[in-house]
Amino acid sequence: MSAAPPKSADDGSSETPKPNRKKKLILIAAPVVVLLLTVTGLWVSGILPAMLGGKKETHEAHKEKSGPPGYVDLPEMVANLNAVRKPTYIKVVVRIEVPHQEDVEKVKAAVPRLQDLFQTYLREVRPEELRGSAGTYRLREELIARANIAVAPNAVTDVLFTQMLVQ
């Protein structure tokens, strides 16, 4: 019954390998990330809400419910722009698009308020802000925001320029 001699420190067989924490983290995190991405993809594509019993309304069905949009023509507006050197004017004729024909009369009642908000905004615009298609797009977005304020609780879906002249 002899005891085995103790192993020395320089013998490599006595060390046990330590588990690599980074590998464990990757093995756990990778499937979780893949699962989250899959669920997100299914949700965004509309498959998951349909599987869970959610109603998915198609664009065509929504169009049939709402009917054709209505339009309201505003009178011609002329405003002097915020120019430093020489006077610059804008002449604009606008058509307002509303989502329902029933809203046309309500928007017509708000035309004076619309004109006031549009004129006030146009007087603060600088001529260089209107250059190019990006300038026209920004002007349209600003006018839509002001139109929605003027006709609330109704909504304006678009502002269409029938004529625009910057001189």
- pLDDT tens-digit series, residues 18-35: 668 888 888 888 888 998
Within the chain, how many helices (H) and strands (E) appear?
6, 4
**Chain Cα centroid distance, residue 78:** 31
> Tell me: the pLDDT tens digits for 110-142?
999 999 999 999 999 999 998 889 999 999 999
Q: What is the largest CA-CA distance in the chain?
A: 113
Q: What's the fold here for domain 67-166?
A: Tetrahydropterin Synthase; Chain A (3.30.479)
Rg value, the chain, Cα:
33
In this predicted structure, the answer to whether residue 46 has a pLDDT above a threshold of 70 is yes
The pLDDT of residue 62 is 52
Pull the structure tokens for residue 16: 């046990």
Q: How far is CA 15 from CA 7, 11, 22, 100, in A?
A: 11, 8, 20, 79
Task: pLDDT band for 54, please (50, 70, 90 cuts).
Answer: low
pLDDT at residue 9, rounded to an integer:
53
Residue ranges per structural domain of the chain:
19-51, 67-166
Share of the chain above pLDDT 70, in %: 81
Contact criterion met (CB below 8 Å) for 92 and 123 = no
Q: Evaluate if residue 12 carries a pLDDT over 80.
A: no
**pLDDT class for 10, splitting at 50, 70, 90?**
low
Q: Is the dihedral of CA 114, 115, 120, 125 positive or negative?
A: positive
Q: Would you say the pTM of this structure is higher than 0.75? A: no
Token pair listed for 34? 């893949």
By residue count, the chain amounts to: 167
Residue carrying structure tokens 């995190």 = 29
Mean pLDDT of the chain: 83
Q: What is the mean pLDDT of residues 87-96?
A: 94
pLDDT surpasses 90 at 8: no
Helix (H, G, I), strand (E, B) or coil at 77: strand
Residue 14 confidence (pLDDT) above 70: no
Predicted local distance difference test score (pLDDT) of residue 13: 54
The percentage of residues in the chain with a pLDDT greater than 90, rounded to a whole number, is 44
According to DSSP, residue 44 is labeled: H
> Of 36-45, 65-74, 123-132, which has the strongest mean pLDDT?
123-132
Question: What CA dihedral angle connects 31, 34, 40 and 46, to 10 degrees?
Answer: -110
